[in-house]
Chains A and B, each alone.
Chain A
Amino acid sequence: MSVFTVGLTLRVKRDFKPIAQRFGVAAVLPVALFALFLMLAGVAPIDTFAAMLQSSVGSSYGIGEVLVRAAPFALTALAAVIPARAGLLNVGAEGQLVCGGLGVAAMAFALGDVSPAGIPLLIVAGMAGGAAWAGIAGVLRTKLQLSETISTLLLNYIGYLLVAHVLQGPLKDPASFNWPYSAPLSDALRFATLLGSRVNVGMLLAPLAAGVLAVLLFRTYWGLNLRVTGGNPQAARRAGINVPRTYLTVMLIAGALAGLAGVLQVMGVEGRLRPTSGVGFGYAGFLAAWMVGHHPIWVLLSALLLAAIAVSGDALQITAGLPASSINILTALVLLGVLARGRAQSRG
């Protein structure tokens, strides 16, 4: 393990570039522009930024909330990273996440009241739900050469509507007064939380997954196989790599990762599946992955950044009286700043 760690550290170090240069364009400009927006609204920018920082990274609760949001972002980001390394574009973490949530809810429904021993079953069900949804796109790609970008995009809507339908029907909690929620999980089936917050053990799955995938990707035969396929599928084929199988595998892994994000949301944060559970997280992850050029470790950082911005939006609402969605301006400016920085030479 330590060998791997050293290897990864080296890689991480090599990726590091002078701070001042980066900070200039991609961080200061968005913040300055956003300050301009705030001033246009007649809101004092410095006070508002202070309140935003305070509500996100300036208090233990805020930091906890950033982590709570970052964990699923990181998983959906990984769901884009792995296929990207093999040359596929998975835009479908959104749908795979809700299907993961559906897997958890369905399994909980089937199991009924069970002991904590049910937790692994629920996790597996969630990952299976996401993997199944991504698997559809994988099969369409390998058997029918249908672009996975298009199919996953379409499957997002279908997945969301399927979940909405099931929550209004068979999985609706009989005690929810017709509200489209699944039955709440019993406390024994929830991830244990840190006192007074929503930080839960399940969130450890995100860095764990990132670490395991980084090792797999950079330090194993399988990972090389995958990256060669991503680099040039024709060459990979000539080198004897079973390209369709690689494609299918990465899609299944991606779906399982996105499904795991759904697991976190249902078993960690919400305790039940709602039609709104995790909506938007898939796209956030996709963006987090692009921000760091599909690096499995760095996505943890980009996920944290996006989560921190999202969480700080509350302060706009409570302190500055601005609509919370105004925070999307800052998110978008940071994203566009990062994306515009470099030409996309490659997907990987």
Chain B
Amino acid sequence: MLSIVEAVLGGAVRSSTAVLFAALGELIAERAGVVNLGTEGCMLTGALGAFAVTAATGNPYLGALAGGGCGALLAAVHAYVAVVRGANQLATGMAVTILGLGVTSFWGRSFVSTQIQGMEPINLPVLSSMPLLGPILFQHDPLTYLSMLLAPVIWLFLARTRWGLALRATGERQEVVYSVGYSPTMIRFAAVVAGGFLAGLGGAQLAVAYTLNWVENMTQGRGYVAVAMVIFASWNPLMAVAGSYLFGGALSLQLALQAQGVGVSPFLMSAVPYLVTLGVLIVVGRRRRQAMPDELRAVFEGSRG
């Protein structure tokens, strides 16, 4: 029984990593006041970029870096159109996802049957032999560990550094940032591109650490899930970890229950994270929603009055 609990929770962590990376990336962009619905596309390009480079060089770490780069590149398109040109962020993001899907299916064709040597799980010394926690948290691929470390790092960056403050201020009221001599446009551009890099890493984890495969549209909506997870997390990176693991846990639990012969609707289980997000937003209400950066409110709620 214990091993099943470990399997479910360990599986949750493993299968959530891609979403977590993307959610953290989206969170950075949103804290600077930009929604990027192109996250799904960034993940796809990241997955293909990582897979292709891994296949070419035999080095999945180089691949992951390339994946991040591809994600960043696509995010730069979003940043240019939405931030520099000032187009509607939601519409631009959707178009960017469409672009990512098209580009990856175009170039990905030849990689479908390619075999790669991907990242292997590394059992962390000492930690991995802890009962329960070991198998759940410390027997994963390096990118998964990176995603775990990244959440507190981003939290610290946002809360404690000068650039973090500038970024948050840009998300709250860009005029203020401008008045102290920073360029809000540049900060937003950088935040979106950094977010795209992380989304690309998420795709890379899916392709070169988790499945070791590339197929067309392999992210299957995980990028949109990430956007929902940022809302769930009320723009707090540590909460994003919880949200992503909840998402992965629902998938993992549903598969485990099936294998145990318990009939559950996979679809209703998959709906749980969204229902929880909506429920949290409703119950906790306005206080929690105040966490939303003001400039983001302009995107989500229109610039009313």
Q: Does B162 contact A (CB under 8 A)?
A: no
A89 touches B90 (CB 8 A): yes
A157 touches B274 (CB 8 A): yes
Q: In the complex, how many angstroms separate the beta carbon of B102 from the nearest chain A beta carbon?
A: 3
Q: Mark B54-90, 1 if CB is under 8 A from A, else 0.
A: 0000000000000000000000010011000111101
Counting chain B residues whose Cβ lies within 8 A of the other chain, the interface size class is 35 or more
| Residues of B close to A168: CB separation below 8 A | 265, 267
**Smallest Cβ-Cβ distance to A145: which chain B residue:** B286
A344 CA to B105 CA, complexed, in Å:
31
B85 touches A233 (CB 8 A): no
B95 touches A339 (CB 8 A): yes
A148 CA to B106 CA, complexed, in Å:
35
A336 CA to B78 CA, complexed, in Å:
9
Q: Does B277 contact A (CB under 8 A)?
A: yes
B275 touches A336 (CB 8 A): no
Judged by DSSP, the binding face of B is: helix
| Residues of A close to B227: CB separation below 8 A | 153
| Residues of A close to B86: CB separation below 8 A | 343-344
| Residues of B close to A252: CB separation below 8 A | none
Q: Does A186 contact B (CB under 8 A)?
A: no
A339 touches B92 (CB 8 A): yes
| Residues of A close to B101: CB separation below 8 A | 325, 328
| Residues of A close to B301: CB separation below 8 A | 89, 147-149
A335 touches B98 (CB 8 A): yes
Q: Does A158 contact B (CB under 8 A)?
A: yes
A165 CA to B266 CA, complexed, in Å:
8
B91 touches A290 (CB 8 A): yes
Q: Does B5 contact A (CB under 8 A)?
A: no
| Residues of A close to B289: CB separation below 8 A | 145-147
A335 CA to B94 CA, complexed, in Å:
9
Q: In the complex, how many angstroms separate the beta carbon of B18 from the nearest chain A beta carbon?
A: 17
A130 CA to B114 CA, complexed, in Å:
44
Which interface residue of A89, A144, A323, A336 has the most chain B CB atoms within 10 A? A336
Q: Does A216 contact B (CB under 8 A)?
A: no
B88 touches A146 (CB 8 A): no
| Residues of B close to A91: CB separation below 8 A | 90
Query: Which of A87, A286, A339 touches B87 (beta carbons < 8 Å)?
Result: A339
A150 CA to B305 CA, complexed, in Å:
20
Which interface residue of A89, A235, A342 has the most chain B CB atoms within 10 A? A89
Q: Does A232 contact B (CB under 8 A)?
A: yes
Q: Mark A137-159, 1 if CB is under 8 A from B, else 0.
A: 00010001111111101110110
Q: Does B157 contact A (CB under 8 A)?
A: no
Q: In the complex, how many angstroms separate the beta carbon of B216 from the nearest chain A beta carbon?
A: 6
Q: In the complex, how many angstroms separate the beta carbon of B78 from the nearest chain A beta carbon?
A: 9
| Residues of B close to A233: CB separation below 8 A | 304-305
Q: In the complex, how many angstroms separate the beta carbon of A310 from the nearest chain B beta carbon?
A: 10
A234 touches B102 (CB 8 A): no
A326 touches B271 (CB 8 A): no
A27 CA to B183 CA, complexed, in Å:
32
Query: Which of A151, A158, A325, A339 touches B88 (beta carbons < 8 Å)?
Result: A339
| Residues of A close to B231: CB separation below 8 A | 150, 154
B271 touches A157 (CB 8 A): yes
| Residues of B close to A161: CB separation below 8 A | 267-268, 270-271, 274
Q: Does B192 contact A (CB under 8 A)?
A: no
| Residues of A close to B92: CB separation below 8 A | 336, 339
| Residues of A close to B265: CB separation below 8 A | 165, 168-169
A336 touches B228 (CB 8 A): no
B106 touches A323 (CB 8 A): yes
B-facing residues in A112-164 (Cβ within 8 Å) = 140, 144-151, 153-155, 157-158, 161-162, 164
Q: Mark B194-228, 1 if CB is under 8 A from A, else 0.
A: 00000000000000000000001100000011011
Counting chain A residues whose Cβ lies within 8 A of the other chain, the interface size class is 35 or more
Q: Does B143 contact A (CB under 8 A)?
A: no
Q: Does B131 contact A (CB under 8 A)?
A: no
| Residues of A close to B297: CB separation below 8 A | 147
A289 CA to B236 CA, complexed, in Å:
33
Q: Does A333 contact B (CB under 8 A)?
A: yes
A283 touches B94 (CB 8 A): yes
Q: Does B281 contact A (CB under 8 A)?
A: yes
A140 CA to B228 CA, complexed, in Å:
17
Q: In the complex, how many angstroms separate the beta carbon of B264 from the nearest chain A beta carbon?
A: 11
Q: In the complex, how many angstroms separate the beta carbon of A145 from the nearest chain B beta carbon?
A: 6
> A329 and B95 in contact (CB under 8 A), knowing A153-B227, A165-B268?
no
A327 CA to B285 CA, complexed, in Å:
42
Q: Does A250 contact B (CB under 8 A)?
A: no
A340 touches B285 (CB 8 A): no
Query: Which of B94, B96, B271, B302 touches A89 (beta carbons < 8 Å)?
Result: B302
Query: Which of B87, B94, B278, B299 touches A154 (beta carbons < 8 Å)?
Result: B278
A108 CA to B265 CA, complexed, in Å:
24
Q: In the complex, how many angstroms separate the beta carbon of B258 from the nearest chain A beta carbon?
A: 13
A69 CA to B280 CA, complexed, in Å:
37
Question: Can you list 21 A-B pairs with a CB-CB distance of less than 8 A?
Answer: A89-B300, A89-B302, A140-B282, A145-B289, A146-B289, A147-B292, A148-B301, A149-B301, A150-B281, A157-B271, A168-B267, A169-B265, A286-B94, A287-B94, A287-B95, A322-B106, A322-B109, A326-B106, A330-B102, A340-B80, A344-B86
Query: 17 extra interchain contacts, Cβ-Cβ under 8 A, other than A147-B289, A150-B231, A329-B106?
Result: A41-B106, A91-B90, A148-B301, A154-B277, A157-B225, A161-B268, A161-B270, A162-B271, A232-B304, A283-B94, A322-B106, A323-B106, A325-B105, A328-B99, A328-B101, A332-B102, A344-B88
